[in-house]
Amino acid sequence: MRPGLGRKWGEQLRLSSIGLTLAISVAIGALGGWWLDGYLGTGPWLTVVGLVLGSAAGFYELVREVNRPSDSDE
């Protein structure tokens, strides 16, 4: 195995997980809002709020990961 190859794979795996993080954040927000709507009987409003908050959290993580310096920028 060539030197630095493991570092390159690690960087690719880190970047490939960004989409999964975004999707999970949106899903958790939407499902949490949906559950609260059922529990409190508030209609679709908490689902929408959960969806917006989950999206904001996912995009925050996306921006944070993209702006994070990689290990190969030494």
pLDDT at 6: 63
pLDDT at 50: 95
pLDDT one-digit tens code per residue, 5-64: 566 777 778 778 888 999 999 999 999 999 999 999 888 999 999 999 999 999 999 899
Token digits of residue 59: 């995009």
Token digits of residue 13: 């795996």
pLDDT at 48: 95
Q: Is 56 helix (H, G, I), strand (E, B) or coil?
A: helix
pLDDT at 72: 55
Instruction: Find out whether 45 and 28 touch, Cβ atoms under 8 Å.
Output: no
Domain ranges of the chain: 18-67
Estimate the crossing angle of helix 45-67 against helix 5-40, to 10 degrees.
170
Instruction: Find out whether 13 and 70 touch, Cβ atoms under 8 Å.
Output: no
